[in-house]
Structure 1
Amino acid sequence: MDLKSHIRGIPDFPKPGILFYDISPLLAHPQAWRHAVETMAASVKEWQPDILVGIESRGFLAAAPLAYVLDCGFVMCRKRGKLPGETIGHLYELEYGSDAIEIQADAIKPGQRVVVVDDLLATGGTMAAAIQLLRRVGADVRGAACFIELTFLGGRDKIDAPVTSLMQYDS
Structure 2
Amino acid sequence: MILTGKEIEKRVESKEIVISPFLPENINPNSYNFRLGRQMKVYTNELIDPAQENPVDTLTVNDDGIILQPRRLYLAETIETMGSTQFVPTYAARSSVARMGMFINLSAPLGDIGFIGKWTIQLFCIHPVKVYYGMNIGQMMFWHVSGEIELYHGKYQHASGPLASRIHIDFEQKIKKGLGLQQKIRDCEVPL
Fold shared per TM-score above 0.5: no
* TM-score category of the 2 structures, normalised to the smaller one: under 0.3
TM-score, structure 1 as length reference: 0.25
Larger RCO (alpha carbons 8 Å, 6+ apart): 2
Calculate the TM-score normalised by the size of structure 2: 0.23
In terms of fraction of residues, the more helix-rich structure is: 1
